[in-house]
């Protein structure tokens, strides 16, 4: 598989935010979201065998691992990697754009699945079959640029009754472009039962810092 970076940091997103986590960032993505903060993972990277990746993960210690990108599900070797991580007792998160089929991932994996709003420029790319593959432990995330995105997310939330599928639906503002307070006020105004998600690592370190 082609890997951009492997590092240990504080998990910045999802309900696991605040926990030490080893990140395996795979190279390549087939989407081009306007607000993407990891465009450096689109190209380059280094080829690693599954065992080489496992060896590096083990060196960091801890038992929480996230596979991310780019889009990690573009690489077929993610599946044997996930299988071995589970065998070794890791809690495995896979963060995906929602455009790829997540049903091939083992049930034990926590799937953090994006739904792309209009502001991303990739609206309409969601794989709706993924809704049937989700379990309560999995998480759906909307990255929200503006009020139009917020309204889109609200409509999607209600139309597909997402709270019947997963326990956690996350609304996350685009960092530096939508005020967290503004999004919080919309959520409170409308009585939504969703989690406000902030990219915690960008408050701890400088927002452009890699490997954190």
What domains appear along the chain, each with residue ranges and CATH number? 2-204 (3.20.20.70)
Confidence of residue 42 (pLDDT cuts 50, 70, 90): very high
Longest dimension (CA), the chain: 50
Distance CA 198, CA 30 (A): 25
Q: What is the pLDDT of residues 198-208, one digit of tens each?
A: 988 888 888 77
CB 15 within 8 A of CB 39: no
Q: What is the pLDDT of residues 49-90, one digit of tens each?
A: 999 999 999 999 999 999 999 999 999 999 999 999 999 999
Confidence of residue 210 (pLDDT cuts 50, 70, 90): confident
The pTM for the full model equals 0.94
List the Cα angle 200/167/34 in 5-degree steps.
Answer: 45
Confidence of residue 19 (pLDDT cuts 50, 70, 90): very high
Copy the structure tokens of residue 104: 């091939």
Write down the pLDDT at residue 29.
97
Write down the pLDDT at residue 208.
79
Q: What is the pLDDT of residues 126-162, one digit of tens each?
A: 999 999 999 999 999 999 999 999 999 999 999 999 9
Mean of all residue pLDDT scores within the chain: 96
Distance CA 67, CA 93 (A): 6
Copy the structure tokens of residue 146: 């503006």
DSSP readout, 89-135?
A: T-EEEEEE-SSS--TTS-TTSEEEEE---GGGT-TT---TTHHHH--
169 has pLDDT over 90: yes
Q: What are the angstrom distances between the C-alpha of 181 and each of 28, 31, 111, 169?
A: 33, 28, 27, 18
Copy the structure tokens of residue 36: 């993407």
Per DSSP, the chain holds a count of helices (H) and strands (E) of: 6, 9
Name which residue leads in pLDDT, 202 or 187: 187
Give 60: exposed, middle or buried? Use CB within 10 Å, 0-12, 13-18, 19+: middle
Helix (H, G, I), strand (E, B) or coil at 176: coil
Mean pLDDT of 5-13: 95
């Amino acid at each position: 598989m082609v890997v951009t970076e492997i590092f240990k940091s504080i998990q910045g997103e999802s309900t696991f935010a605040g926990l030490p986590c080893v990140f395996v960032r795979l190279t390549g993505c087939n989407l081009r979201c306007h607000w993407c903060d990891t465009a450096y993972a689109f190209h380059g990277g280094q080829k690693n065998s599954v065992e080489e990746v496992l060896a590096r993960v083990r060196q960091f210690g801890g038992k929480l691992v996230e596979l991310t990108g780019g889009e990690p599900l573009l690489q077929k070797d993610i599946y044997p990697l996930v299988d071995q991580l589970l065998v070794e007792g890791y809690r495995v998160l896979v963060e995906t754009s929602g455009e790829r089929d997540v049903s091939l991932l083992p049930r034990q994996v926590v799937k953090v699945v994006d739904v792309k709003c209009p502001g991303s420029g990739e609206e309409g790319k969601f794989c709706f079959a993924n809704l049937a593959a989700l379990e309560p432990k999995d998480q759906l995330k909307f990255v929200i640029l503006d009020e139009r995105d917020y309204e889109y997310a609200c409509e999607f939330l209600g139309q597909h009754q997402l709270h019947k599928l997963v326990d956690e639906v996350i609304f996350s503002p685009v960092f530096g472009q939508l005020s967290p307070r503004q999004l919080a006020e919309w959520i409170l105004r409308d009585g939504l039962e969703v989690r406000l998600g902030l990219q915690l690592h960008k408050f701890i370190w400088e927002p452009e810092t890699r490997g954190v």
